Amino acid sequence: MAERLVGKAAPDFIMEMVSGDGKDFGKVNLSDYRGKWLVFFFYPLDFTFVCPTEITALSQAYDQFQALDAEVLGVSVDSVHSHKAWINTPKTANGLGTLQFPLASDITKSVSREYGVLIEEEGIALRGLFIIDPEGDLKYQVVNHNDIGRSVEETLRVLQALQSGGLCAMNWKPGDSNL
């Protein structure tokens, strides 16, 4: 059984990454996001079919995340070179185009394993999404089967609920009172 992560310090990481414009390589680690909220999501593989719908939707909503003092970071087990090629491939050819956030490479699969989303026998990650608060504590996680894409609207709603500072009833939405 996987260890519970929500309510604990988020597992630390250091990974290679490529910038959202597909031009620069670098390293990214959890401490880079100290003081901000982080929407940290895993997807199975580059050049697949559901993944670009999620990644581009999150990129299109990036300004909304920024307005909530949140950053976004995507990660898969592919190399940074694969990420760069995918970003630089036109959308008409199943590419991503420019993104507003970086893509990290968990080529060793250690981060996917730490976050409990690695499918060991396949060597890929499930669709896991984690919200980490400015102090580095993991506040939310959702893990989907790889056939099912996630919802940007739900991610934004949950982020706002976490930031509201109170108890949020079922179907809480921004503007509703806390319990």
Instruction: Pull the structure tokens for residue 170.
Output: 């079922």
Instruction: Pull the structure tokens for residue 77.
Output: 């087990």
3-state secondary structure of 140: strand
Coarse DSSP helix, strand, coil percentages of the chain, rounded to the nearest 5 percent: 25, 25, 50
CA quadruple 108, 109, 113, 114: dihedral positive or negative? Answer: positive
Q: Which of 15, 28, 39, 51 is catalytic?
A: 51
CA–CA dist 72, 131 (Å, integer): 9
CA–CA dist 3, 16 (Å, integer): 26
Catalytic, 168? Answer: no
**Residue that is written with structure tokens 């949020």 in the block:** 168
Q: Which residues are catalytic?
A: 51
